[in-house]
Chain A
Amino acid sequence: MKKGDTNSNSYILIYASVIVVVVAFLLAFTNIVLRPRQNRNIELDTKRQILAALNITDVKDVEAVYNRYVKLDMLLQLDGTLVVNSGGFSSNYTTEFSKKRFHIFQCDVNGQTKYVFPLNGVGLWGPIWGYVALNDDRNTVYGAYFSHQSETPGLGAEIASPQFQSEFKRLKVMKDGKVGLSVVKYGKVVDKKYEVDGISGGTITSKGVDAMLKKCLSNYIVFFTNQ
């Protein structure tokens, strides 16, 4: 090809079109081929997170351990009745949330019933999420797990650290008919029954966790109070 040819308008148009089609095909192909594997990974990761809220970590065979501990995947409806979630993991939290139905995972850990509740909220840079496990009194925290997409490493990202998460153990959720479980500014804990120290330097993320706990858990108040 002669030099200069590459600068004619028609060449540029054809070149751009071809590139776009090739790239679109490549991306679509990769996406379709890898999608089942990715969904499987996401599902396993969700199960791993639920187990983490039950203080079961470093699991090798997530699927088997999950089936051993988690007995029921239920949906809480607005009137307080529970239905079994038949959609499995294909029905994600936001879809059910928009229908005003809220997930509860009923688990059996060494003969004791625990309930796990999914949480989601926003941190400083992006979404944060987590799970809280309660004892069968539906009030005492058994374990908590938090994760995030893009909080600052070393600061906000510390919400994903076991040290932070273990502070929630044995705290109470309900206080005077409202969700009392909260994260406060570092060093400002007043009521040790309900409050956890935030992360020094990660104030906005800590506030995000606090807001997430209040927002998501208050959907379950009818479940907590109605025993």
Chain B
Amino acid sequence: MSELFSKKNKDTFSIPLGKNNPITVQVLGICSALAVTAKLAPAIVMGLSVMVIVAFANVIISLMRDTIPTRIRIIVQLVVVATLVTIVSEVLKAFAYDVSVQLSVYVGLIITNCILMGRLEAFAMSNGPWESFWDGLGNGLGYAKILIIVAFVRELFGSGTLLGYNILNYECIKSTGYLNNGLMLMPPMALIIIACIVWYQRSRDKELQENS
């Protein structure tokens, strides 16, 4: 078992959380980071779904990697991801209908999430299933982390709530002249927040700074 939790696997899992974060460093999956982050709850569920799907797609592709013809590998990857996403969405509809209604089209859109294809192509095609599982989990979590930070800021300052619970919409706060910022709810604000996170991360980590 010690081999299963080796230093390498730990790194595979933890590097995407920070130094090689899929959103802030690889700049993948930006589209969904804009779409689902106006409220915290969908952001959390979306983050979790992506995490589960990347991890399992990674494992499946990694198991199949020696048999996949290189000329049609992208199509095969796509088929695996699409099947997985469809099955997850069907299972949600049958056993967690409320969640599936809340996520609506976003579950389907996971298929087009660049992080998935990126990880399959870059990692699962050349690594074993166990490493790939950790890689998928790490990347999914790295994605979820950014989504949750962005959604936290947007919902708090845009709607004055968190997970739907009232935080700032009280008379005593309103009477000081404070207003919810409608701009927070617009997609551009998600980009600005992500940019701030990138800025913060790069200013702290010298390795990420390009020499130009």
Contacts and interface: CB of A to CB of B under 8 A. Distances in A.
Interface of A: 1, 6-7, 11-12, 15-16, 19-20, 23, 26-27, 30-31, 34, 37-38, 41-42, 44-45, 125-126, 149-150, 152-155, 200-201
A1 B64 CA distance: 13
A162 B57 CA distance: 39
B95 A201 contact: no
A26 B105 contact: no
Describe A's contact surface by its main secondary structure: helix
Given A31-B90, A34-B94, A12 B71 contact: yes
Contacts, number: 83
A30 B91 contact: yes
B69 A7 contact: yes
B72 A16 contact: yes
Interface stretch (B16-24, B79-87, B113-121, B197-205): B79-87
Interface in B77-111: 79, 83, 86-87, 90-91, 93-95, 97, 101, 104-106
Given A26-B87, A30-B87, A41 B72 contact: no
Interface in B19-54: 36, 38-39, 42
Nearest to A24: B83
Contacts of B90: 30-31, 34, 38
A152 B71 contact: no
A200 B38 CA distance: 15
Contacts of B79: 19-20, 23
A153 B39 contact: yes
Given A12-B71, A38-B94, A154 B185 contact: yes
Contact of A6 (B67, B97, B185, B186): B67
B135 interface: no
Interface residues of B, number: 34
Nearest to B185: A154
Contacts of B182: 200-201
A15 B105 contact: no
B125 to A, nearest CB: 12
A16 B68 CA distance: 9
Nearest to A15: B69
Given A30-B90, A37-B95, 11 more contacts: A11-B69, A12-B72, A19-B79, A26-B87, A31-B90, A38-B90, A38-B97, A149-B105, A154-B155, A154-B159, A200-B182
A41 B98 CA distance: 9
B71 A34 contact: no
- The 4 A-B residue pairs with the shortest CB-CB distance, nearest first, are A154-B38, A154-B185, A41-B97, A153-B38
Nearest to A8: B69
Contacts of A201: 182, 185-186
B70 interface: yes
A185 B91 CA distance: 40
B142 interface: no
B105 A126 contact: yes
B168 interface: no
Contacts of B66: 1, 6
A150 B105 contact: yes
Nearest to B87: A30
Contact of B72 (A15, A126, A150, A153): A15
Contact of A37 (B38, B72, B94): B94
A16 B64 CA distance: 13
Nearest to B161: A154
A27 B83 contact: yes
B191 interface: no
Given A26-B87, A30-B91, A149-B104, A155 B38 contact: yes
A97 B97 CA distance: 26
A154 B95 contact: no
A45 B101 contact: yes
B94 A19 contact: no
B133 to A, nearest CB: 21
Contacts of A42: 97
Contacts of A41: 93-94, 97
